Structure 1
Amino acid sequence: MQPLGVNPASVESHRGYVDKFQFNFPLLSDPERTIAGAYNALREDGQRIQRTVYVIGRDGTVRFAQRGTPPVDDIVRAA
């Protein structure tokens, strides 16, 4: 499983965040909110992001999707 974070912040902002919190996975910059829109992760105003977790199988199918912060065990089980 390869986790990725996606958020509209700049690449430079992400570098600082990764360094500060010692993430061991990449954060992708989505300033136009294209990825967030495609994965239905935008709030009703179309600007703010709703935290959403997806597990996508190697074949490209969505195996798990949940808004908010689901239990890690649920995510791992879906992987």
Structure 2
Amino acid sequence: MYKLVLRLDVGSRAEDFTLKDFNGNAVSLGSLIGRGIVFLTFYRGGFDKESVRYLRALADNHERLKDLGVEVVAVTPELPEKARGTAESLSLPFTVLCDPELTATKQYDVYDPSMEWCWPAGFVIGEDGAVQYVYRGVSPPNTPPVPYLMKKFEQMRSPPEEAAGRAAAR
């Protein structure tokens, strides 16, 4: 029997990386940690209809995400020109980073060796830098469900006594 060992999972410290956005600006994950919740998502690219559907759902919920103190950072293996096209066509209101060398993709264990690309994935990183939730898909449309993520973010932002009251009511 084989056991899959993942370097970054719930309870791990998020590992820093620096990638460029589609305009060539360097963005480090470490610079975002501590300012709120970070939702780090990996998507296959604008060619993938499930990735587009997923990015649109995140964009549609962006105001609520901001209200909850969530910073969305999307990572794609696509080249900057392709990522720009997707971001502009969908009017994405969040940061889109390009990882054509698959550095962060491999670092976060979402590398698909058969396709030499990334799997869809999502990581919720708390203000303290600890990974609170991980979703790794193996193929589209395996993406973290946005309604579930919204509930997760709401729970993370609720005072502990409110969260305990909701849990007891269930």
TM-score (norm 2): 0.43
Look up the match of 1:21: 90
* 1:64-75 correspondence to structure 2 within 5 Å: 64-67=133-136, 68-75=142-149
Could you tell me which of 73, 76, 79 is aligned with 1:10? 79
Alignment gaps of 5+ in structure 2 = 1-69, 137-141, 154-170
- More relative contact order, 1 or 2 (CA 8 Å, 6+ apart): 2
In structure 2, how many angstroms separate the alpha carbons of the residues matched to 1:10 and 1:63?
29
**What is the aligned residue count?**
79
Structure 1 or 2, whichever has the larger Rg, is 2
Deviation of 1:77 (Å): 3.0
Give the equivalent residue in structure 1 for 2:132.
63
Moved over 3 A (4+): none
Q: Percent identity?
A: 29
TM-score, reference length from structure 1: 0.86
Q: Which runs of 5+ in 1 are unaligned?
A: none
Structure 1 or 2: larger helix share?
A: 2
One of 121, 145, 158 as aligned partner of 1:52:
121
Q: Does structure 1 conserve the Cα–Cα contact (< 8 Å) formed by 2:102 and 2:117?
A: no
